[in-house]
Structure 1
Amino acid sequence: MTYVVTTMKAREKFAKAHAGEIGLPKITQIGFGNGGHNLAGEPTEPTGLEAAVSGEFLKKNIESTAFPIPTTLRLVGILDFAEGNGKNVSAVGLYDAEGDLVALKHFLPKPKDDETRIEIDWDEKF
């Protein structure tokens, strides 16, 4: 089971952008965390009010972007072999250029060691 939310901050920015009051900042970073699950190992449901990734232990720049179809933006973030070892990754989030968390995902914990590389392909569908 996976839970995904667009944060309240992002929704506020979308509303203001559609009114022409602001431009939307680029998504520039991905955060990795270990706080997206409960003690039983089940994913917890984010509220959308979060300002940071649950249990965040690393924030990195987005590796790449692509448009697999014209209405979908694919963002790629990578937790590489030397990063986050000994953690159980269960939360990832997207940050915009202003440092605001705009989307958050909680999922079953994935153990991370130095022989594991975790690639997150996050599709934003419009």
Structure 2
Amino acid sequence: MANAVILNQAKLKLLRARSGDIPFPIVTHMAFGTGGVSAGGEAIEPNENATSLVHEVLRKALDSHSFDNNKTMKYTGTIRNNECVGEKISELALVDSDGDIVCIKTFSAKQKDADIEMTFDIYDTF
């Protein structure tokens, strides 16, 4: 099972931008959510037709992005001490400059406590 997926709406934008029909929207934000696991606590497979996280609790500008090699971009986002306290984060998304989610990653729930920051990386690989 794949726990990360590029959404169909992102694929369509890529095709349209490559043809010159639209300007290419850049990735600007990361969204964090609590809806990435089943009732039994297992990570669920994201749906490539989704247009949102199952249960988004925070969206904020990326901390950074960087090339790891010639085919991978790493995007980093952080939940600060005072954000999402008590939430069980289990899904992430990259968001473009149009406000659309372009990919979703799910994973086992991570409890967010007030005395810690949580930093997440998503790798966009071709």
Give yes or no for TM over 0.5.
Answer: yes
Cα pair 1:2 1:108 within 8 Å, conserved? no
Q: Percent identity?
A: 31
Give the alignment's TM-score, normalised by structure 1.
0.93
Structure 2: state its 5+ residue gaps: none
Query: 4+ residue runs of structure 1 moved beyond 4 angstroms?
Result: none
Distance 1:71 1:113 in 2: 35
Distance 1:103 1:119 in 2: 18
1:19 is displaced (CA, Å) by 2.2
In the alignment, what sits opposite 1:25?
Answer: 25
Distance 1:5 1:70 in 2: 20
Distance 1:124 1:74 in 2: 6
Q: What are the equivalent positions in structure 2 for 1:4-15 lying under 5 Å apart?
A: 4-15=4-15
Range 50-59 or range 15-24, more displaced: 15-24
In the alignment, what sits opposite 1:120?
Answer: 120
Structure 1: state its 5+ residue gaps: none
Question: In structure 1, what residue type is equivalent to 2:26?
Answer: K
- Counterpart secondary structure, 2:74: strand
In the alignment, what sits opposite 1:72?
Answer: 72
Q: What is the Cα-based RMSD across aligned positions, in Å?
A: 1.4
